[in-house]
Structure 1
Amino acid sequence: MAATQVLKSEWTKIKSVQSTVWTLSLSAIATIALGVLISILSRNEFKNMSAEDKLTFDPTFVSFAGTSLGQLAMIVFGVLVVSNEYSTGMIRTSLAAVPQRGTFLFSKITVAAALALAVGMATSFTAFFLGQAILGDLRAGIGDPGVLRAVIGGGLYMTLIALFSMGVAAMLRSPMLALGILMPVFFLLAPILGNVSATKKVGQYLPDQAGSKIMQVVPPLDDDTPYGPWGGLLIMALWAVAAVSCGYVLLKRRDA
């Protein structure tokens, strides 16, 4: 089967499964809604902040406060896109139709990543402009230094979250097992390792801890991170490439 036909087939599969469509929609809604809420709270509490907090106040990053919740749905999307066929048994039919396993996997990942990128970018720009409108006099402009980079980076961050999740799902094949590992890593392990002084040097190299740096415009006063915004996104991209590569190797070696 030609590569273009495989891409069309994967597009049809994704749009025909309601759970994947809903998770993408939920990712956007959660990110924007929580960002709006945090922007309202930040505007109301700004006058009560300490001088240090006012100095490091980052209106752009405030807009992206909902990303921590929205990425949960993006993780689910990435896992379901890859592992749904394993849980339903359709993987045998798919591999019979497309015996070139590399073509099969990378076509699926390409279509899903393009969708994640489109939704991620739309979500990032919407969250930013809504958040800044709410912040009023505290707002940042899209033309301010570092702001456009942060907004574009927000969309790229969500895309890499989906890519990493797809790679892990390709390795584990089971949606429950993949989610059972990814959720604790992103929502328990990474925050703990990234905020405890004894493990911070290790935690700052985890995918979300490194990748989220791209959305910061005003760094914390005590920031001693050894990489910048693009360096952090590169680290996250390397995690995603590693996960997808491992998933491909295992797909080639294992039976359906």
Structure 2
Amino acid sequence: MTAPAQMPPPPPAPGYASPIPVVRTHLGHALASEWTKIKSVRSTVWTLVLMFVITVGIGLLFAVALASDDYVGWPLLAGGFFGVMLGQLCIMTLGVLVISSEYGTGMMRTTLTACPHRGRVLMAKTVVFFSLAFVMTLVATTLTSLIHSSLLGDQDIPHYAAQDPYMEGSIENGELVATAGHWMGATVGASLYVSLLGVLGLALGALLRHSAGAITTLIGLVMLPLIAAMFMVGESMETVREKLIEYSLLNGLASLYRLPMEGDDTATGWPLLGMLAGITVAALIGAYARLTSTDA
């Protein structure tokens, strides 16, 4: 008998081909992802709205109160400092929550699975948050400055006011004015200051991975030098007290509005803003090192 003929093996089943094209990911994808996350969280909207209301609202109240006086003795846009001083707390808190909330919920594991390049994740979060914070703060500070300019620009200026170092460049032909430098400090400078504080909070959130701890640490960095200076009495502590106030972060913001708390009466605040930028960059480098050397 002859052996039965061998049947040919069946052809292999075709593999699954995804209709979604496979592309090489880049920073743009990470930026789009972070933008989607930050705009879809309800707390982001409420925090930014609260910052705007506090900054503009307190600025308006100060402008209305100062408009009733014949002469205030402050630069034209200086009253906006008090609204920004309180409104910055919202940006500081939001900066921490942008990254620490993902650690708290475990979402960071998903984020790093989708984008294994951890440095890219940190850069995307920083760029998106800084851009959003800067734009929103710039709108708020510009509106506040316009309010002060319209309500206080027609004040009667006494003759002795020209000798006041605080008023250097603020009086022209007997009228209270704001130079281009004043406008730049009260709008762009103040917005950079607040946005950098928010990014510093983001870096602290990445370092500590705990929302309450990072927020407390950031507020301490802002307020502790001034609080410590208040309790340094006596001549032996005078030099330390003056330096703590002069190089405090709040003095940097006040100097941008031409209201320095200590040091040169004509300080513009830009050098202290540069110091804040350096501190923020150092914190981001530390956050990158922590993010790339430890598990999420």
Both proteins in one fold, TM over 0.5: yes
TM-score by length of 1: 0.86
- Residues 55-89 of structure 1: per-residue CA shift (max 9 Å, x gap): xx222111232011100101111011111111111
Hey, what's the Cα distance between the residues in 2 that align with 1:14 and 1:237?
A: 23
**Identical amino acids, percent of aligned pairs:** 31
Give the CA deviation at 1:45. Answer: 4.3
Structure 1 position 85 matched with structure 2 position 109: no
Name 2:44's counterpart in structure 1: 20
Q: Which residue of 2 aligns with 1:155?
A: 191
Structure possessing the higher radius of gyration over alpha carbons: 2
Q: Contact 2:126–2:202 (CA<8 Å) still a contact in 1?
A: yes
Deviation at 1:129? 0.4
Report the number of matched residues.
245
* Kept after mapping to 2: 8 A contact 1:211/1:236: no
1:212-227 mapped onto 2 (5 Å cutoff): 212-216=254-258, 223-224=263-264
Q: Which residue of 2 aligns with 1:241?
A: 281
Query: CA 1:169 to 1:200, structure 2 compared with 1: closer, same or farther past 3 Å?
Result: farther
Q: Do the aligned partners of residues 167 and 211 (structure 1) sit closer, same or farther apart at CA in structure 2, a change above 3 Å counting?
A: farther
Equivalent residue number for residue 192 of structure 1: 227
Structure 1 residue matching 2:264: 3-state secondary structure: coil
Determine if the alignment matches structure 1 residue 34 to structure 2 residue 58.
Answer: yes
User: Are 2:123 and 1:106 equivalent residues in the alignment?
Assistant: yes
Identify if the C-alpha distance between structure 1 residues 145 and 108 changes in structure 2 by more than 3 Å, giving closer, same or farther. closer
1:128 aligns with 2:172: no
Separation in structure 2 between the aligned mates of residue 193 and residue 45 of structure 1, nearest angstrom = 34
Query: Which sections of structure 1, spanning at least 5 residues, go unmatched?
Result: none
Gaps of 5+ in 2: 1-24, 156-174, 233-237
Partner residue in 1 for 2:17: none
Alpha carbon RMSD of aligned pairs, Å?
Answer: 2.4
- 1:43-122 to structure 2, matched below 5 A, reads 43-45=67-69, 54=73, 57-122=74-139
C-alpha distance 12-237 of structure 1, shift in aligned 2 (>3 A) = same
Distance 2:115 2:89 in 1: 31
Q: Which residue of 1 aligns with 2:218?
A: 182
Query: Comparing both structures, which one devotes a greater share of its residues to helix?
Result: 1
Greater mean alpha carbon deviation, residues 65-74 or residues 244-253: 244-253
Give, as a single letter, the amino acid of the residue that structure 2 aligns with 1:215: Y
| Post-superposition CA distance 1:178-216 (Å, at most 9, x none) | 112223443x41332466644230343233333442232
Match of 2:6 in 1: none
Q: TM-score, normalised to structure 2's length? A: 0.75
